[in-house]
């Protein structure tokens, strides 16, 4: 039994579309975030300048920086560590306002080598900033961070 060429074409096209659709779905559901080290920073800023920018107008600053990759340079004022977490803080010690960086899983080991007083450049995805009612100060949060080399 031989299929007509038109029917054959339709079957091949349908199978091809099905395979492409499966690949697309598989890709969407298994794709992960790129290693932040490999991502290009949208902005490079000094920590204290960044904190000032958020304090002056956090709505504008959130529009500018949220979900962007930012390289922030400053002096480490505090390290908060738990079993699976290393958060590095660059704070304005006069006001208590701060930027905090949660490190990406694959960069936890390098984060554990950082000490208070170190001058560092950290690259991460900015989650935005807000005024904390609890701490009564402005804070800016970063996720998926890595030391910038």
Partner 1 sequence: MKKTICMLAIFFVSTALFAQKKTTTSATVAFDATTSLDALPMADNKTVVAALDPKSGMIAFEAIVKSFSFKNPMMQDHFNSDKWLDSDKFPTIVFKGKITNLKAVDFKKDGTYLTEVKGDLTIHGITKPLTTTGSVVVTGKAVSATAAFTIKVDDYGITNKAIDNGKVAKDPKITITADFK
Q: Which DSSP string do the residues of 100-134 spell out, in sequence order? A: EEEEPGGGHHHHTT--TT-EEEEEEEEEEEEEETT
98 binds partner 1 (CB under 8 A): yes
Q: Closest separation between CB of residue 144 and partner 1, Å?
A: 7
Stretch touching partner 1 by CB under 8 A, among 36-44, 48-56, 80-88, 108-116: 80-88
Let me know: does 48 contact 74? Beta carbons within 8 Å.
yes
Kindly tell me which residue out of 45, 102, 122, 146 binds partner 1, with binding defined by CB under 8 A. Answer: 102
Tokens representing residue 141 in the block: 């949060």
Q: Closest separation between CB of residue 108 and partner 1, Å?
A: 11
Comparison of 14 and 23: residue with beta carbon closer to partner 1: 23
What is the DSSP pairing of strand 119-132 with strand 43-46?
unpaired
What Rg do the C-alpha atoms of the chain give, in angstroms?
Answer: 23
Q: Closest separation between CB of residue 9 and partner 1, Å?
A: 34
Distance CA 45, CA 51 (A): 10
Residues at the interface with partner 1 (CB under 8 A): 28-33, 62, 66-67, 80, 82, 85, 87, 89, 98, 100, 102, 127-130, 132-135, 139, 141-144
């Amino acid at each position: 039994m031989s299929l007509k060429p038109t029917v054959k074409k339709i079957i091949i096209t349908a199978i091809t579309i099905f395979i492409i659709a499966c690949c697309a779905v598989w890709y969407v559901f298994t794709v992960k975030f790129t290693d932040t080290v490999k991502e290009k920073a949208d902005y490079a800023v000094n920590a204290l300048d960044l904190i000032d920018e958020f304090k002056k107008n956090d709505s504008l600053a959130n529009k500018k920086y949220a979900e962007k990759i930012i390289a922030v340079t400053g002096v480490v004022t505090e390290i908060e560590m738990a079993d699976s977490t290393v958060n590095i803080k660059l704070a304005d010690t006069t006001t208590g306002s701060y930027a905090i960086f949660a490190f990406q899983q694959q960069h936890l080991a390098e984060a554990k080598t950082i000490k208070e007083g170190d001058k560092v450049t950290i690259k991460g995805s900015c989650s935005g900033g807000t005024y904390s009612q609890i701490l009564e100060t402005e804070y800016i949060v970063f996720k998926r961070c890595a030391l910038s080399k």
